[in-house]
Amino acid sequence: MTGSLDHSPDLPALFAGRRCWVLTDGKAGDEAPCLGLAQALGLKPERRVARPRALFAALAPRGPIDPAERPGVAGSPIAPPFPDVLIASGRRAVPYLRYVRRASGGRTFTIFIKDPRVSPRVADVVWAPAHDGLHGGNVVVSLVAPHLVSTDALSSARKHPDPRIAALPEPRMALLLGGDSRHHAFAQKDRRTLVGVVESMILAGASVMITSSRRTPPALIEAIKREIADTPKRAFLWTGGDDNPYIQMLAHASAIVVTADSTNMVGEACATSAPVMVYEPTGGHPRITAFINSLQRAGRVKRWLGRLESWPCAPVDETGQIAREIGLAYEKWLASARKL
Calculate mean pLDDT across residues 169-198.
Answer: 97
Do residue 158 and residue 142 come from a single domain?
A: no
Do residue 134 and residue 183 come from a single domain?
A: no
**What pLDDT is recorded for position 340?**
53
Calculate mean pLDDT across residues 300-314.
Answer: 96
Residue 5 located in a structural domain: no
Residue 312 located in a structural domain: no
Residue 113 located in a structural domain: yes
Residue 174 has pLDDT above 60, yes or no: yes
Residue 251 has pLDDT above 50, yes or no: yes
Residue 18 has pLDDT above 50, yes or no: yes
Residue 307 has pLDDT above 60, yes or no: yes
Domain holding 23: CATH number?
A: 3.40.50
DSSP category for residue 112? E
Q: Exposure string (b/e) for 143-181, b if CB count within 10 Å is 16 or more?
A: bbbbbbbbeebbeebeeeebeebeebeeebbbbbbbbbb
Do residue 178 and residue 82 come from a single domain?
A: no
**What pLDDT is recorded for position 241?**
80
Residue 310 located in a structural domain: no
Do residue 118 and residue 190 come from a single domain?
A: no
Residue 3 located in a structural domain: no
Among candidate residues 86, 272, 271, 305, the one with its CA nearest the CA of residue 172:
272
Do residue 108 and residue 179 come from a single domain?
A: no
Among candidate residues 286, 310, 285, the one with its CA nearest the CA of residue 299:
310
Calculate mean pLDDT across residues 279-305.
Answer: 96
Domain holding 217: CATH number?
A: 3.40.50.2000
Question: Domain range spanning residue 98?
Answer: 11-146+319-339
Do residue 183 and residue 272 come from a single domain?
A: yes
pLDDT band at 5 (very low <50, low <70, confident <90, very high): low
Calculate mean pLDDT across residues 43-67.
Answer: 98
Do residue 155 and residue 133 come from a single domain?
A: no
Q: Rounded CA gap, 96 and 65, in Å?
A: 6
Do residue 45 and residue 75 come from a single domain?
A: yes
- Percent of the chain predicted with pLDDT > 90: 94
Calculate mean pLDDT across residues 239-267.
Answer: 95
**What pLDDT is recorded for position 242?**
81
**What pLDDT is recorded for position 142?**
97
Residue 143 has pLDDT above 80, yes or no: yes
Chain mean pLDDT for the chain: 95
Do residue 168 and residue 250 come from a single domain?
A: yes
Residue 311 located in a structural domain: no
Q: Quick count: other Cβ atoms within 10 Å of Cβ 231?
A: 13
Residue 279 has pLDDT above 50, yes or no: yes
Q: What is the DSSP string of 205-262?
A: T-EEEEE--TTS-HHHHHHHHHHHTT-GGGEEEE-SSS---HHHHHHH-SEEEEETT-
When divided into structural domains, the chain yields a total of 2
**What pLDDT is recorded for position 4?**
47
Do residue 69 and residue 160 come from a single domain?
A: no
Do residue 132 and residue 161 come from a single domain?
A: no
- Residue with the bigger pLDDT between 2 and 15: it is 15
DSSP category for residue 72? T
Residue 2 located in a structural domain: no
Do residue 52 and residue 98 come from a single domain?
A: yes
Residue 4 located in a structural domain: no
pTM value is 0.93
Residue 3 has pLDDT above 60, yes or no: no
